[in-house]
Amino acid sequence: DFSMSMVPGWRDAIYPAFQTLNSLQAGLATTLVTLYLLRRFGRMEQHVGVNEFWGASKLLLALSLLWFYFWWSGFIVWWYGRSPLEQDLLQLLMFGPYRYVFISAFVLNFAAPFLILMWNAVRKSIWGPTLASVSILVGTLLDKVRLYVSSWSVTDPLTAHAIEEVPGTHYPGVPDLMIVVGGIAGAAFLWLLASK
């Protein structure tokens, strides 16, 4: 709702399911990166083995394929609809000022994990699922920047019936990056506080 309601005329019934799927994908990726860090730096080699990574990598591959399916299901309606409003939405979210962010998110959320995890020998390792997980986490961050920053850049979203003009790119500044780092540091602080 924080993105779709800010863009006049944006109606997408599959968008909530797509965001839920992306959160499941990023949550599993976070779990795999955490397991890797616990194994590498937390002396947990005897408790966290290859089987855990191998089992989770199958789910991660399935979620990456579903990411593409849900993205395609939303995209194809706008592409073939070709109304002026749908063309403006495509320009705003995918092919306009945020096209490089979109391409990066597409590659990091779908293409790279798919190409990494489609090989059973890589899936049945520790470094393969971890590499795909890092790719997904960076891709998810870029995808959220693309969706939310572009949505909040639209002028007068509450009274307009269509996008009057596609706004330019707004890049994150130092305060935005500090908020992201602070959120990660806050989660680490709470974990350390609870473990003490």
What are 7-33's pLDDT values in tens digits?
A: 887 888 888 999 999 999 999 999 999
Q: Are 124 and 54 in contact (CB under 8 A)?
A: yes
Residue 131 makes CB contacts below 8 A (sequence gap 6+) with 116
Task: Kindly report, residue by residue over 88-122, the tens digit of the pLDDT.
Answer: 888 888 998 889 999 999 999 999 999 999 998 88
Tell me: pLDDT of 56 over 70. yes
% of the chain surpassing 90 pLDDT:
44
Give residue 19's identity as a one-letter amino acid code: Q
Quote the pTM value. 0.84
> Residue 108 has what pLDDT?
96
Tell me: pLDDT of 169 over 90. no
Q: What's the average model confidence in pLDDT over 121-133?
A: 91
Rounded-to-integer distance, Cα 117 and Cα 55, Å:
12
> Residue 25 has what pLDDT?
96
% of the chain surpassing 70 pLDDT:
96
Residue 117 makes CB contacts below 8 A (sequence gap 6+) with 57, 60, 61, 64, 123, 128, 129, 132
Tell me: pLDDT of 159 over 70. no
Tell me: pLDDT of 155 over 80. no
> Residue 161 has what pLDDT?
67
Q: What's the average model confidence in pLDDT over 69-93?
A: 88
Tell me: pLDDT of 165 over 80. no
